[in-house]
Amino acid sequence: MGSWRIPTNEMGRGTVKANPDDDLTGKTLGEYVLRHKIVRTDYSTIYKAEHRQSGEPFAIKVLTSQSMQDPVLVKRFVREAKAAGKINDHHVVRVQTFGMLQDLYIL
């Protein structure tokens, strides 16, 4: 688990900069294709995603633009990611990585 940022020139074909408030279904974020929206809150949107090469399923959480502008919420997001990353239980979704990807905070 770690934090990373992919520069624009390394985003890959089919990858676009996106507004986190738009429905990102069908968009590609790094190595992940967002297949459909699971839930949206005032804080974030969670998508069912698929790794482009392996086809393995993932859940991707994207902060809303309003949340991204609030330093308290960004810190909360980072704390959540770090805490969730320490959980190793087959009943809990495992955190693979978190951070900025294509100008979006994702987990």
User: In this predicted model, what pLDDT tens digit does every residue of 11-45 receive, in sequence order?
Assistant: 334 444 566 677 889 988 888 999 999 999 888 99
pLDDT of residue 55: 92
pLDDT of residue 46: 92
Mean pLDDT of 38-62: 91
Q: In what order do the strands lie in the sheet with 57-63?
A: 3-4, 98-101, 104-106, 57-63, 44-51, 32-40, 28-29
pLDDT of residue 7: 34
- HEC-encoded secondary structure of the chain: CCEECCCHHHCCCCECCCCCCCCCCCCEECCEEEEEEEEECCCEEEEEEEECCCCCEEEEEEECHHHHCCHHHHHHHHHHHHHHHCCCCCCCCCCCCEEEECCEEEC
Whole-angstrom Cα distance, residue 63 to residue 36? 16
Q: At CA 89, angle to CA 83 and CA 95, rounded to 5? A: 45
Please report, rounded to a whole number, the percentage of residues in the chain having pLDDT higher than 90: 26
